[in-house]
Homo-oligomer: A and B are copies of this chain.
């Protein structure tokens, strides 16, 4: 499929159709990504202010066969927002479309435009005493359109589901410029194929999401947080099961962490206060939210007492104040930054069936140790079977010396994940980083169907070419 570059004629035709504020300057930030691995290119930056303006841009790009890269907060970790090959594309940034179009607290629904920043959505929900539970480390700059395009996960998936589960409807511009008006505020709607879920997770390759109807939740009246030291991942899983037995859906987050993460914090971020005098090998952060009339600290104490009794925990801390809750969470939330400062050889966002998590960790560690004395920081959303299994240079060495080893490390981890029925792309998406992985591990019938769908909806291949499927 031949794509065309942005030409002066293309730009001037758009200038004749769109108001001035739609045109922006391509500053370096638009071409970088959080891990500094790739450098993008752009032929033109467009920042439409309305859905009709988005449709104008897409229709024009479709007619001229000019590639388009939808651009959200730029926080994606798999290069979905970074076009390196082919003609320099139009960057279609949703940054000016950030309105809350409506909130219906009595329906637990909010309709927002795609450029709305995740933390602003949290604030808007709080303003009507509701919770929008999707939360990720990049919430201060990530936009909901990108969260939906990548089906973002995060720490609350265990209780509330991922971005997909939190979306009732979308408005989107399809690759031919047609506007899909799908902003329904309905809990049940079986009227035809599930175009919403096809767009969610398609990473901008099947259309541009311009607005979404989001599910809100009552804010849990009372919340509590604990850290518990566990003998290992197996015990952590049993503790999760025990916790569900005690608390039902009350568990909002259940995060597994390893001693390596604490060591990294010690080495790179000494300001983060560690709540343990002796660093434990494995520990979990448990966050709960309960309806009124219940007692979170008491519930966590009862859970801890039984866990202690059953040998599922050996030590524990239950937050006694909001400040302590935040301190516990700061440990978890600082680990990605500590990882970044240490510099990984290869990072892996993987998931496996819950019950094989302990075996995966044991076999993964063994396979990695057989390569080099790497340091492994394995942590993540245990309740979802989603681990960030990140491999770092041996103590005292720098990643630079191991760049050539990245592929063998990645292959070792991903082969094992695939063999154990897992996914090599759990919550970050495929982007441009994992296109080859998808070809290697993906189901062939699914890949053929995906290619047929892409060709059917975007016959000219203009939408984010090279993402998910080879361009």
Q: Name A's B-contacting residues (CB within 8 A).
A: 104, 106-109, 150-151, 153, 157-158, 161-162, 164-165, 174, 178-182, 184-195, 197-198, 200-202, 206, 218, 220-221, 237, 241, 244-250, 290-294, 351-355, 381, 383-386, 421-430, 434, 438, 441-450, 452-457, 468
Chain B contacts for A290, CB-based, 8 A: 248
In whole Å, how far is A395's beta carbon from the nearest beta carbon of chain B? 31
Pick 8 A–B contacts, CB within 8 A, sort by A. A178-B448, A185-B354, A186-B385, A191-B424, A192-B450, A198-B453, A218-B248, A449-B457
Q: In the bound complex, do residue A190 and residue B151 qualify as a contact, i.e. CB atoms below 8 Å apart? A: yes
Q: Out of B185, B250, B457, which one reaches A353, CB within 8 Å? A: B185
Q: In the bound complex, do residue A194 and residue B200 qualify as a contact, i.e. CB atoms below 8 Å apart? A: yes
Chain B contacts for A430, CB-based, 8 A: 190-192
Which B residue sits closest to A247, measured CB to CB? B291
Chain B contacts for A107, CB-based, 8 A: 353-355, 385
In whole Å, how far is A92's beta carbon from the nearest beta carbon of chain B? 18
Which B residue sits closest to A160, measured CB to CB? B249
Q: In the bound complex, do residue A445 and residue B178 qualify as a contact, i.e. CB atoms below 8 Å apart? A: yes
Chain B contacts for A428, CB-based, 8 A: 190
Chain B contacts for A292, CB-based, 8 A: 245-246
In whole Å, how far is A297's beta carbon from the nearest beta carbon of chain B? 15
Q: In the bound complex, do residue A426 and residue B193 qualify as a contact, i.e. CB atoms below 8 Å apart? A: no
CA distance A244 to B449 in the complex (A): 42
Q: In the bound complex, do residue B201 and residue A423 qualify as a contact, i.e. CB atoms below 8 Å apart? A: no
Q: In the bound complex, do residue B188 and residue A381 qualify as a contact, i.e. CB atoms below 8 Å apart? A: yes
Q: Out of B188, B192, B352, B455, which one reaches A442, CB within 8 Å? A: B192
Chain B contacts for A220, CB-based, 8 A: 248
Chain B contacts for A427, CB-based, 8 A: 188, 190
- Which of A164, A249, A441, A449 has the most C-beta atoms of chain B within 10 angstroms of its own C-beta? A449
Which B residue sits closest to A205, measured CB to CB? B193
Q: In the bound complex, do residue B153 and residue A188 qualify as a contact, i.e. CB atoms below 8 Å apart? A: yes
Q: Out of B187, B193, B206, B291, which one reaches A206, CB within 8 Å? A: B193
Q: In the bound complex, do residue A162 and residue B188 qualify as a contact, i.e. CB atoms below 8 Å apart? A: yes
Q: In the bound complex, do residue B109 and residue A353 qualify as a contact, i.e. CB atoms below 8 Å apart? A: yes
Q: In the bound complex, do residue A186 and residue B351 qualify as a contact, i.e. CB atoms below 8 Å apart? A: yes
In whole Å, how far is A263's beta carbon from the nearest beta carbon of chain B? 27
Chain B contacts for A426, CB-based, 8 A: 186, 188-190
Q: In the bound complex, do residue B384 and residue A188 qualify as a contact, i.e. CB atoms below 8 Å apart? A: yes
Q: Out of B200, B352, B422, B445, which one reaches A180, CB within 8 Å? A: B445
Chain B contacts for A429, CB-based, 8 A: 190
Q: In the bound complex, do residue B422 and residue A157 qualify as a contact, i.e. CB atoms below 8 Å apart? A: no
Chain B contacts for A162, CB-based, 8 A: 188
Chain B contacts for A194, CB-based, 8 A: 164, 194, 197-198, 200-202
In whole Å, how far is A4's beta carbon from the nearest beta carbon of chain B? 23
Which B residue sits closest to A165, measured CB to CB? B165
Q: Out of B202, B245, B442, which one reaches A191, CB within 8 Å? A: B442
Q: In the bound complex, do residue B247 and residue A191 qualify as a contact, i.e. CB atoms below 8 Å apart? A: no
Q: In the bound complex, do residue A423 and residue B249 qualify as a contact, i.e. CB atoms below 8 Å apart? A: no
Q: In the bound complex, do residue B468 and residue A457 qualify as a contact, i.e. CB atoms below 8 Å apart? A: no
Which B residue sits closest to A197, measured CB to CB? B197
Q: In the bound complex, do residue B187 and residue A385 qualify as a contact, i.e. CB atoms below 8 Å apart? A: yes
CA distance A404 to B23 in the complex (A): 58
Chain B contacts for A452, CB-based, 8 A: 456-457
CA distance A12 to B135 in the complex (A): 58
In whole Å, how far is A422's beta carbon from the nearest beta carbon of chain B? 7
Q: In the bound complex, do residue B456 and residue A191 qualify as a contact, i.e. CB atoms below 8 Å apart? A: no
CA distance A386 to B192 in the complex (A): 17
Chain B contacts for A294, CB-based, 8 A: 294
Q: In the bound complex, do residue A195 and residue B247 qualify as a contact, i.e. CB atoms below 8 Å apart? A: no
Q: In the bound complex, do residue B104 and residue A353 qualify as a contact, i.e. CB atoms below 8 Å apart? A: yes
In whole Å, how far is A419's beta carbon from the nearest beta carbon of chain B? 13
Q: Out of B161, B237, B446, which one reaches A182, CB within 8 Å? A: B446
Chain B contacts for A423, CB-based, 8 A: 184, 186, 188-191
Chain B contacts for A192, CB-based, 8 A: 201, 430, 438, 442, 446-447, 450, 468
CA distance A427 to B191 in the complex (A): 9
CA distance A452 to B458 in the complex (A): 10
CA distance A128 to B326 in the complex (A): 38
